[in-house]
Structure 1
């Protein structure tokens, strides 16, 4: 009972009480909305007064603030419609004709993940033509004239972009809504085949059954990855992210669907098999039982350690994809922390990083969390996300890119830790997230016109007041929700539904199976949420290993955990010892404090490793049949660590006497010094073998990047090279079924 009373008070403060329905107050800041003649509104924020014109879609509730902010989101969506886009790194910043959506007031370009998430949330249903054109801008053929197919462009990014960043697959999350246009559907099918084939060949890891690469959207490395990735992103390219794997799962299911529709039974079966295998791997490998959550990412195949980092977008996408078991999905979302201002996009926070992804609320992520909460009937989370989306837009006077976690301000001054470091008004995916909150989150209007509300009881008083109904008008149709006759439980759903011409009227009723308020006890525990702003312990230094005779000795400081080849190991009296078994092993440390765990230290690997000098070809005599791990020692100075399109992508081919050729992808991202590439593992027979580097494919090979003028690999032509110094070869344990 106490839990629900507190929740109701919190939402009433945000939406306004029945007596002051136009007011919103939070931490001493107040916003007020008032309607004006002609259907418009005036929004008074703490810093300015904003006029909002009458809009095509209109909500009519007891809250002028709710209605005004819905109109504001439409107004900002219209402001993001452009006839040309531009970016300083493309065509020297000159306008590029495109009847598209730009990314935001400060981001006048089209970026793959931004427009895709925005389209999936709302744009595809509200402006399908412009959304298609925006998505088409991110499709490209190869510019060598010989590589067949159509591909989705991965934007400039970490270490020189794809495949260090590999979430371009999100494009299909948006495209799936727009297949009623046959020409576009054909393009989607072509791009799906080409992109899935590339990713399967160059991003998929057969040993773990997962796709490698960076977390989707969380692409400022040290904001969410260990600080030591600031100048070495090789680990990111070798690791596995929950969000990126869920997006691949979704794309594979779309491939199965489209192949079936086109009578391509072979491809349909292949995509189905890949998706069927990927789903259980996602659940098994990312679930962390001690936290009751799904990890944002895990370590590389050589050292697949769990990371105590969680992100709300990844969890929400997993819920929505149906790839997570319902019981775990409910537990994960319920356990994910939230502040009074809203849900952080990552948790726990890093104390040495400024506000951006770290210590921040991102409205589009809140919108996905709201969707996931609806699917799981999580009324408190639905309420919290509606509250957060409204509060942010009202106090800022715009649907901002992001907000500080505790104050929900668009900037807090904390010296070197100030932030959000970057912010923008009318950010496209924030606008789309707000629109989705109104259409689906409150009124329950699905893209197909079905009305399936899941409205928390806590929202009834502020939205309905003394009224018996609230109304949404869109696309010449009218949707009416009738106030429930009984207020019991936490969630209201559709009861009797009546359709009369263009009007659909839904009677809200308590969801079946809920207990009435009167039967709830004060002892009913709320989920034990750790503080949303809790800081992880500092990341430790790399472990130091010392060879003593035929064994290795590794000091393990107090409150630290030593990890070996992906698993925690016991240490006695502050020391761990391992016999030298003639194989290569990888070690890292984490620090634990107050039930929180740090990110992993840099990895230290022990055991034998051969260095074969050279740049292209190497010979090796394998002493006995066994498995080896290969990396290239290289330098790639073709761009900065945080951007570009010239990650060097090669195929490492191995030929051994009497055996067919084996080949794996190795990636050499932008570097600041000599570093090691991503790994390739091979099973070799005893005897002579040769290793040869062959050409691969990177983003500079796409015609899309012929317009790139912000670095190498653009207008001057394809660039897929690195300065290779040597091949590193290490014997490792043979695969024994599924790795830990």
Structure 2
């Protein structure tokens, strides 16, 4: 769907009450918001329930910039990219709930169908599981297959390194919702998926998982080798030894998946299996820090070459998603987190996919998966900056993205030029034509929501509670988030002060720690005062 088609959607603003508070709203998604192949069989309007928290800055200028883009992100995720899940295409495992029968697709600019593991998992992880638990679950189930004898597994397609992020997203979904039925199936799918990947892709010499990097299915994201001139393909696995690479982002996600799987095992009463997963996770964390950490520059390298002429060599490039996941998944300790945030390279328009340019690219011809700002990667880094205590870098990340999207008519595009901020798809091989940056990209929109929910307000979910660890930049003034859904409770959260240290917290007017237990019910008002 083009940006001009957004007028057909229902504006989020129509669902806000006069005082800005709302616990849940019903979003109307006209049939025109889905491709013909995704239309529900009745052809009638379909209703999908989402909770849409209202963001309110006391400062009018901040509301007009960050608040306006927040509304646009909700519209992008819910009004444009939540579509009907045609059963024959998306419900291979028989787990999607009809109704609502909807899920979050990758973006409005792509042909349908889109059964893409990485996009589904990231969108659920970023925001969909919080805002619409049934839709979040459907989005995750849309990329699950049911094996004849071994049960559920993440679809085994030709981007197998994408499968592991599903496990992290599934654990997050359970932590938010407490849905035991979801957990039982998610544990089976996660255990089967990690067993398959360990059997096929684990490099015992390094103690790392082999395969391309999380973001980079395009060859523009890699040095030479594996890139070699003359092949012409954009897909990374068409190049020799690309499957042997050991990449920072992918291994950090494996660590996150193993710790998530251990948590799932504990929850379903399999303590012995949980211990095994934790042991594997700890060994992997040690291997990542042994082989990929670079003490001299104080950051992680990008990848270790596998079976090519540079086998065993560490590429020193900066991988934006890899640095973010090192922090968010817990691979980097406090010292490494501080150093990598201090030393990260920023382009004028934000954190890029991989820095610097590989030799076949330049400022004039940037590589699509090289020195470009992908909002999803940039948002992950922004969240990591907040988690790492860098209020200044978090502010830089969120204002960078707001500027990029604001300059493109409030449309969350796929990627942007890192120097000019222009909507730009970049090049893949250096010899091909310029690619298109797709409009209405779901994970660009959900990435912005992630920076609001997980960064600014610091919402962190475990099976037992949601804790609130905000990051409020100076001069932003008071900010509130009304109608946050949490299981059987609804939260209104107001932040005052500045910084990331909680000076005081009240819940319903009584002094409290900044956390709400999973058993809470009803409406609660949280007020947090911050200091640097």
TM range (shorter): 0.7 to 0.9
The DSSP-based 3-state class of the residue aligned with 2:315 is coil
Cα deviation, residue 81, structure 1: 0.7
Note if 1:294 corresponds to 2:300.
yes
TM-superposition CA deviations, 1:567-624 (whole Å, max 9, x none)? xxxxxxxxxxxxxxxxxxxxxxxxxxxxxxxxxxxxxxxxxxxxxxxxxxxxxxxxxx
The equivalent position to 1:281 in structure 2, one of 277, 282, 287, is 287
Deviates more, 1:188-197 or 1:211-220: 188-197
The equivalent position to 2:169 in structure 1, one of 174, 177, 193, is 174
The DSSP-based 3-state class of the residue aligned with 1:454 is coil
1:506/1:259 CA distance change after superposition, 3 Å:
closer
1:155/1:206 CA distance change after superposition, 3 Å:
same
How does 1:248-647 map onto structure 2 within 5 Å? 248-300=254-306, 303-353=311-361, 354-396=366-408, 397-411=410-424, 421-447=435-461, 448-457=465-474, 460=475, 463-464=476-477, 469-475=478-484, 476-483=490-497, 491-500=499-508, 502-510=524-532
1:122 aligned partner: 127
What is the distance in 1 between the residues matched to 2:87 and 2:417? 28
Note if contact 1:124-1:131 (Cα within 8 Å) is conserved in structure 2.
yes
What is the distance in 2 between the residues matched to 1:257 and 1:471? 32
The DSSP-based 3-state class of the residue aligned with 2:103 is strand
Note if 1:100 corresponds to 2:103.
yes
1:149 aligned partner: 151
Please give the root-mean-square deviation of Cα atoms over the aligned residues, in Å: 3.1
1:77 aligned partner: 77
Which has the larger helix fraction? Answer: 2
Cα deviation, residue 398, structure 1: 1.0
Deviates more, 1:397-406 or 1:375-384: 375-384
* Structure 1, unpaired ranges of 5+: 1-34, 41-54, 92-96, 485-490, 511-740
TM-superposition CA deviations, 1:202-258 (whole Å, max 9, x none)? 111211111111111211024323265354533111221111111111221122222
The DSSP-based 3-state class of the residue aligned with 1:167 is helix
TM-superposition CA deviations, 1:309-366 (whole Å, max 9, x none)? 2201111101112112321222122211112211112111124244422221111111
How does 1:693-732 map onto structure 2 within 5 Å? none
TM-superposition CA deviations, 1:482-525 (whole Å, max 9, x none)? 245xxxxxx34322112226321122222xxxxxxxxxxxxxxx
The DSSP-based 3-state class of the residue aligned with 2:314 is coil
2:8 aligned partner: none
2:45 aligned partner: none
What is the distance in 1 between the residues matched to 2:431 and 2:342? 29
1:136 aligned partner: 141
TM-score with structure 1 length normalisation?
0.54
Note if 1:60 corresponds to 2:56.
yes
What is the distance in 2 between the residues matched to 1:217 and 1:86? 28
2:518 aligned partner: none
Note if contact 1:101-1:110 (Cα within 8 Å) is conserved in structure 2.
no
Note if contact 1:113-1:170 (Cα within 8 Å) is conserved in structure 2.
yes
1:200 aligned partner: 198
The DSSP-based 3-state class of the residue aligned with 2:297 is coil
What is the distance in 1 between the residues matched to 2:202 and 2:441? 32
* Structure 2, unpaired ranges of 5+: 1-11, 18-50, 93-97, 232-237, 485-489, 509-522
Note if contact 1:112-1:155 (Cα within 8 Å) is conserved in structure 2.
no
The DSSP-based 3-state class of the residue aligned with 1:150 is strand
What is the distance in 2 between the residues matched to 1:138 and 1:307? 32
What is the distance in 2 between the residues matched to 1:265 and 1:477? 33
1:266/1:445 CA distance change after superposition, 3 Å:
closer
What is the distance in 1 between the residues matched to 2:88 and 2:106? 11
Note if contact 2:415-2:424 (Cα within 8 Å) is conserved in structure 1.
no
Cα deviation, residue 117, structure 1: 1.6
The DSSP-based 3-state class of the residue aligned with 1:455 is coil
1:190/1:328 CA distance change after superposition, 3 Å:
same
What is the distance in 2 between the residues matched to 1:183 and 1:413? 43
What is the distance in 2 between the residues matched to 1:432 and 1:446? 16
What is the distance in 1 between the residues matched to 2:206 and 2:457? 42
What is the distance in 2 between the residues matched to 1:265 and 1:39? 45
Cα deviation, residue 36, structure 1: 9.5
Cα deviation, residue 150, structure 1: 2.2
Note if 1:225 corresponds to 2:223.
yes
Cα deviation, residue 270, structure 1: 2.2
1:187/1:234 CA distance change after superposition, 3 Å:
farther
1:418/1:358 CA distance change after superposition, 3 Å:
farther
Cα deviation, residue 445, structure 1: 3.8
Note if contact 1:403-1:420 (Cα within 8 Å) is conserved in structure 2.
no
Note if contact 2:220-2:369 (Cα within 8 Å) is conserved in structure 1.
no
1:420/1:65 CA distance change after superposition, 3 Å:
farther
What is the distance in 2 between the residues matched to 1:321 and 1:228? 27
